Amino acid sequence: MRFFMISCKKATYLVSKKEENRISWWESWQLRAHLGICSLCRKFEQQSGFIGRMAKQVTMHETLSPEKKEKIQAALTHEH
């Protein structure tokens, strides 16, 4: 049994590979077996997915100050 079981460190590593579909069937089997008995790694998997989805959705609504825009404009004009 020990031979088939992977550690939490390895399981969390495989969670990222799985998110990108880069996991082999053997790794996938090992991960499923581990997640079946480890609630901490199940939490990690959910939180990891959440962080990824949130990171993808980030939008910013900042504005550059007039001074910064003038500086950029000056640099651009300098090239003319």
Partner 1 sequence: MPKNQLNPDQWVQLYADALYNYTLPRVNDTAVAEDLVQETFISAWKARDSFKGEAAEKSWLFSICKNKIIDHYRKKARDIMQPMSATGVTDNFFDEAEHWTKQDQPGEWGIDLSNTVENKEFYSVLTMCRKKLQEMQEAAFSMKYLEDMDAAEICKVLGITSSNYWVLIHRAKLQLRTCLEKNWLHIK
CB of residue 46 vs partner 1: minimum separation in angstroms?
4
In the complex, which residues of this chain contact partner 1 (CB under 8 A)? 7-10, 12-13, 15-17, 20, 22, 40-41, 43-44, 46-64, 68-69, 71-73, 75-76, 79-80
Shortest Å, Cβ 28 to partner 1: 15
CB 45 within 8 A of CB 15: yes
Residue labelled with tokens 């609504």 = 61
The least CB distance from residue 80 to partner 1, in Å, is 8
In the numeric block, the tokens 């990824």 are attached to 52
Q: Which residue, among 44, 39, 34, 36, has the nearest Cα to 6 in the 3D structure? A: 34
